[in-house]
């Protein structure tokens, strides 16, 4: 089948290589498109001709290819936009796998009794014997893809439980009809804890650490499968975790197949309410970390009004005058250890931060304190509000982009919030902190 490839970033280049090697008997890539085609061509060293997507329809209409692979990973909105555009042009979207090749763990024939105590409400636990896995790597993101060795992928290992949230699962490069020659046996019991975006502080805390907490409470004594990130070690050390119980997928061989004697899969019943489901196991771990922080750091040496500056995208700009007026101290989390970040949040009566991974540390704030989260118009998701509510931390949100003529529509753009709205939020917070213990 003659196909085109749309997207030539890290994942697109990898998919291009594999389509021309592992899948060469099935597909022939005859065209590559990317909106940053000039940059992509330069990165490819001129060996691959990368064109603007504007030329795709004309080339399809003259019969140069029969369908297009969409190489957009980890960004559902972008994938959907590209898929909708291809459909509008009448171009079929092609995938290596079919929907039937993705199965839930509890639909597999080899599911066995989990043999653990009850997990926290809202979580589902299953266990499988003799599961195969291979390493899928794209830039900083790494996953073990669990499968049955003949073509069925256990989709519970993806960061969403529904493949529509992550269509990349349909473009697995592994050939299941011919397993790699070198198979490595992994005896014992493992928990498939790692998720896509597991190197992000919020995603690790809310989608990995909560599951570790739920598994520990249920009596699991085996090994967790995790990816390394600076904060993973620091958080697990604060929890006095035994690192001999971790299988770091960073150390695994991408060219090998691994066969696990037994794997536990744990997931939430409904991802959209994950923040609420995660509250109980997260706060259980948070309490343990807080006790250690209180002993080591106390509260008196840290600012009581704290602004957490965001680096990269989605920064709050133009707030310096308001912050100075109300006596906020500023920290940049990337310059601090996880323990120091938590100590700052723990001591503060009021914390203000742009939405992002930095919001995660609000889990460790004291009951009665106030967390103010700011958003641009293009993105608003109060991801920490449920556990904060359960804990008794006040939550306020402030949204920018009220000037509709100049409103930021891009969820990654920096944004400005009118000074009046910022001052109103801070004044409200000052009224609330009277209940915060000192």
CB atoms within 10 A of CB 125: 23
| The total number of residues written for the chain in this structure | 438
What's this model's pTM, rounded to 2 decimal places? 0.85
For helices 279-297 and 210-218, give the axis angle rounded to 10 degrees. Answer: 100
Evaluate whether 352 touches 426 at the Cβ level (below 8 Å).
yes
Go through the domains of the chain in sequence order and give each one's CATH number.
2-94 (3.40.50.20), 100-280 (no CATH), 298-435 (3.40.50)
Please state the separation of Cα 386 from the chain's center in Å.
18
Residue by residue, pLDDT tens for the chain (438 residues) are 999 999 998 888 888 988 898 889 999 999 999 998 888 888 777 789 999 999 999 999 999 999 999 988 656 667 888 999 999 999 999 988 777 777 777 777 777 766 787 888 888 888 888 888 888 776 567 878 888 877 677 776 654 445 455 666 677 656 666 655 678 999 999 999 987 778 899 989 988 999 999 999 999 999 999 999 989 999 999 999 999 999 999 999 888 889 999 999 888 766 555 556 678 899 999 999 999 999 999 888 899 999 999 988 888 999 999 999 999 999 999 999 999 999 999 999 999 999 989 999 999 999 999 999 999 876 677 888 989 999 999 999 998 764 444 444 556 778 889 899 999 999 999 999 875 444
Counting DSSP H helices and E strands in the chain, the numbers are 13, 20
Running DSSP on this structure, what letter comes out for residue 205?
A: I
- The encoded tokens of residue 47 equal 């060996």
Burial of 261 (0-12, 13-18, 19+ CB in 10 A): middle
Q: How far apart are alpha carbons 252 and 258 in whole angstroms?
A: 9
Task: Please give the structure tokens belonging to residue 279.
Answer: 């509250």
CA pair distance 274, 57, nearest whole angstrom: 40
Cα 17 from Cα 15, distance rounded (Å): 5
Are 342 and 361 contacting, i.e. CB atoms less than 8 angstroms apart? yes
Kindly report each contact of residues 62-65 with a partner whose C-beta sits within 8 Å and lies 24 or more positions away, as own/partner.
64/2, 64/4, 64/30, 64/31, 65/2, 65/3, 65/4, 65/30, 65/31
CA atoms within 13 A on the CB side of 129: 7
Write down the pLDDT at residue 402: 47
Under 8 Å between Cβ of 79 and 70: yes
Count CB atoms within 10 A of the CB of residue 47: 6
Tell me the two tokens of residue 125. Answer: 């636990």
| CB neighbour list of residue 346: distance below 8 Å, 6 or more residues apart | 290, 293, 294, 297, 299, 302, 364, 365, 366
């Amino acid at each position: 089948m003659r196909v085109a490839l749309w997207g030539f970033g890290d994942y697109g280049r990898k998919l291009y290589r594999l389509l021309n090697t592992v899948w060469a008997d099935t597909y022939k890539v005859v065209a590559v498109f990317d909106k940053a085609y000039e940059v992509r061509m330069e990165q490819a060293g001129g060996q691959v001709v990368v064109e603007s997507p504007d030329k795709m329809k004309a080339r399809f209409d003259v019969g140069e290819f029969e369908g297009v692979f969409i190489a957009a990973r980890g960004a559902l909105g972008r994938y959907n936009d590209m898929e909708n555009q291809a459909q509008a042009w009448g171009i079929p979207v092609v995938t290596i796998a079919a929907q039937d090749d993705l199965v839930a763990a509890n639909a597999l024939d080899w599911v066995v009794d989990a043999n653990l105590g009850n997990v926290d409400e809202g979580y589902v636990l299953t266990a499988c014997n003799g599961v195969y896995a291979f390493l899928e790597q794209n830039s900083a993101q790494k996953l073990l893809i669990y499968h049955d060795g003949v073509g069925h992928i256990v989709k519970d290992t993806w960061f969403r439980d529904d493949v529509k949230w992550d269509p990349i699962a349909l473009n697995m490069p592994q050939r299941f009809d011919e397993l790699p020659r070198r198979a490595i046996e992994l005896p014992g019991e493992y928990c498939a804890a790692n998720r896509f975006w597991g190197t992000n502080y919020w995603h690790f805390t809310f989608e990995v650490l909560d599951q570790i907490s739920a598994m520990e409470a249920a009596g699991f004594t085996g090994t967790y499968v995790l990816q390394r990130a600076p904060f993973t070690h620091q958080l697990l050390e604060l929890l006095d975790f035994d690192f001999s119980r971790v299988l770091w997928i960073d150390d695994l061989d991408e060219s090998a197949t691994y066969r696990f004697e037994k794997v536990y899969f744990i997931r939430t019943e409904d991802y959209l309410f994950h923040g609420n489901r995660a509250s109980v196991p997260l706060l259980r771990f948070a309490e343990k970390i807080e006790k250690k922080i209180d002993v080591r750091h106390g509260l008196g040496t840290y600012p009581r009004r704290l602004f957490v500056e965001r680096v990269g995208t989605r920064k709050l700009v133009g707030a310096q005058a308001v912050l100075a007026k109300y006596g906020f101290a500023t920290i940049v989390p990337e310059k601090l250890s996880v323990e120091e970040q938590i100590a700052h949040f723990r001591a503060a009566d009021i914390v203000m931060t742009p939405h992002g991974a930095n919001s995660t540390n609000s889990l460790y704030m004291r009951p009665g304190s106030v967390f103010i989260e700011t958003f641009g118009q293009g993105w608003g998701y109060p991801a920490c509000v449920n556990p904060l509510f359960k804990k008794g931390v006040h939550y306020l949100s402030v949204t920018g982009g009220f000037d509709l003529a100049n409103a930021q529509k891009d969820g990654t753009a920096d944004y400005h919030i009118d000074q009046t709205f910022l001052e109103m939020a801070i004044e409200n917070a000052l009224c609330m902190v009277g209940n915060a213990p000192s």
